């Protein structure tokens, strides 16, 4: 209860105009597909795809995408990270297995006041890798 009171007070007092920390969203590559298949992030956030399957996969933007990327072949445990700098909806696929598809939706701003999460993070500096309460992603 005390923690919620501290967080509520901190949120009330904060309101800077900075954009807050960039986050990395994780997408798992498995035999059944990308998980999550649709992910929403904020401009300048990154997506990290990690292959958990025993066979090689890749992550490549679809031909009609306004932003292009290609991870190359990722063996088991291989990972690839891409940062998205423009709002939009970006479809991608495994070029080695065309049936595996996903979408990254990039929005221009957080629904939370700018700067709030970066400042709250300062309150918990001793706790490494806490999870962003609104977006469910690890903040570094």
* Structure-token pair, residue 11: 């949120």
User: Residue 46 in contact with residue 82, Cβ under 8 Å?
Assistant: yes
Domain housing 59: 23-109
| All residues at 6 or more sequence positions from 47 whose CB lies less than 8 Å from its CB, including other chains | 24, 25, 26, 27, 39, 41, 81, 82, 84, 104
Whether 63 and 45 map to the same domain: the answer is yes
Whether 41 and 85 map to the same domain: the answer is yes
Whether 77 and 140 map to the same domain: the answer is no
DSSP notation for 71-89: ---B-TT-EEEEE--S-EE
Whether 98 and 116 map to the same domain: the answer is no
Whether 101 and 120 map to the same domain: the answer is no
Cα–Cα distance between 67 and 132 in angstroms, integer?
Answer: 26
Whether 103 and 135 map to the same domain: the answer is no
Mean pLDDT on 78-106: 94
Whether 100 and 53 map to the same domain: the answer is yes
Please give the residue that has the higher pLDDT: either 99 or 112: 99
Please give the residue that has the higher pLDDT: either 109 or 44: 44
pLDDT at 57 over 90: yes
Whether 116 and 105 map to the same domain: the answer is no
CATH of the domain at 50: 2.60.40.420
**pLDDT, tens only, 63-90:** 888 889 999 999 999 999 999 999 999 9
User: What's the pLDDT score for residue 135?
Assistant: 56
* Residue 138: band (very low, low, confident or very high) from pLDDT cuts 50, 70, 90: low
* Residue 3: band (very low, low, confident or very high) from pLDDT cuts 50, 70, 90: very low
Q: Which of 18-22, 67-71, 123-127 has the lowest mean pLDDT?
A: 123-127
User: Residue 138 in contact with residue 131, Cβ under 8 Å?
Assistant: yes
Whether 41 and 91 map to the same domain: the answer is yes
Whether 122 and 58 map to the same domain: the answer is no
Query: What is the model's pTM?
Result: 0.66
Cα–Cα distance between 21 and 54 in angstroms, integer?
Answer: 34
């Amino acid at each position: 209860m005390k923690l919620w009171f501290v967080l509520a007070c901190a949120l009330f007092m904060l309101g800077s105009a900075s954009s807050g920390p960039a986050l990395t969203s994780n997408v798992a590559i498995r035999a059944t597909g990308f998980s999550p298949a649709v992910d929403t992030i904020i401009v300048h956030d990154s997506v990290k795809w990690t292959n958990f399957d025993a066979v090689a996969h890749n992550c490549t933007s679809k031909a009609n995408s306004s932003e292009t990327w290609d991870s190359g072949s990722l063996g088991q445990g291989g990972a690839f990270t891409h940062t998205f700098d423009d709002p939009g909806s970006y479809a991608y696929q495994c070029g080695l297995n065309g049936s595996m598809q996903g979408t990254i939706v990039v929005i221009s701003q957080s629904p939370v006041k700018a700067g709030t999460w970066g400042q709250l993070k300062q309150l918990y500096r001793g706790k490494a890798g806490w999870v962003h309460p609104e977006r469910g992603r690890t903040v570094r």
